Amino acid sequence: MQGLSPDTTSTGQRLVLGTAQFGLAYGISNQRGQIPQTEVSAILEEAAKAGIGTLDTAAAYGSSEACLSNVLPALPNSYRIISKYPPNQPDKSIRQAFQESLERLHVDRLYGYLLHSYASYSSRPGILDELLELKASGLVEKVGISLYHPSEAEELLKREALIDLLQFPYSVFDRRFEELLPELRNRGIETHIRSVYLQGLYFMQPGKLPLYLQEVAPKLEQLQKMAESYQLPIGAVCLAFALANSYISQVVVGVESLQTLQENIRYSSVELPAELYTALLELKEENEHILLPYNWPAR
């Protein structure tokens, strides 16, 4: 297949494995639901072989943390783990929520701990001091926040907030954070981007989109035709587009099965032709009702 390298050794080093599907049925195109634990084990083994070294989880991802604690001890490789403070429990202290995550994961420290919602910070900026206390005590290497809007990152930069890591959406359609990426790197902030597949929107048939997404159908059709003309899977185009941006530190990918992990690993070795990348830049979308799945009606 044009553009796909058969050698997948260590091509996954810039990938972070998202684990929401280990504890929840997640994504608009997810027909399968939560992944069985035996398959989770196979997925984690395969990911390690490909050079993926980091897992992204959260207290809000159902049984994801507990699932990982059941599976990880039997694996030969260790993973760096990022978890998140729950967005819907504002009365819970950072230390208590962090400790609960450690207990569910059966680990004694984390690579990263993020606020799952910027609202946790904006309503109580002092919460960042609690994160920094965890870092100072050696319990976590990097602290930060999961964002949805560029204005949130702008405010953090303006306040010179002492954060190490930001996670936010980025994809072919969603390039709202793009202008901030150079400054984030200049400040030494690690950037993890998510939603490269927009929760599966890019795989859907343009003519069968639900009413609330139909506005983007023409762009989706263009995108799929571009991929077809270069004989590349749509997933390869979407992932390669994100990885082509050197300002992005890591790309979080969720999987529905061992097969979709293997596909992501193959896709991570794709290099887009320059003319295709340039054409993809024209598909930028601004409508946040389309770009942010929390705006989509509940199914």
Residue 278 has pLDDT above 80, yes or no: yes
Of 1-5, 66-70, 100-104, least confident by mean pLDDT is 1-5
In three-state secondary structure terms, 283 is helix
C-alpha to C-alpha distances, 42 to 68, 71, 197, nearest whole angstrom: 12, 9, 23
Q: What is the number of residues in the chain?
A: 299
Which residue in 126, 40, 114 sits closest to 84, CA to CA?
114
Residue 146 has pLDDT above 60, yes or no: yes
Residue 129 has pLDDT above 70, yes or no: yes
Instruction: Give the pTM.
Output: 0.92
Tokens, residue 252: 């979080």
Mean pLDDT of 205-215: 96
The rounded mean pLDDT for the chain is 92
Beta strands in the chain (DSSP E): 15-18, 54-56, 80-85, 110-115, 140-146, 165-169, 190-194, 250-254
d(CA 89, CA 97): 9
Residue 89 has pLDDT above 90, yes or no: no
**Residue carrying structure tokens 């930001």:** 166
Residue 229 has pLDDT above 80, yes or no: yes
Helix, strand, coil: what percent of the chain each, to 5?
45, 15, 40
Q: According to the model, what pLDDT value does residue 298 have?
A: 79
* Domain architecture of the chain: domains with CATH: 15-203+239-271 (3.20.20.100)
Residue 257 has pLDDT above 60, yes or no: yes
Q: According to the model, what pLDDT value does residue 299 have?
A: 63
Mean pLDDT of 70-93: 91
Helix axes 234-243, 258-267, angle to 10 degrees: 50
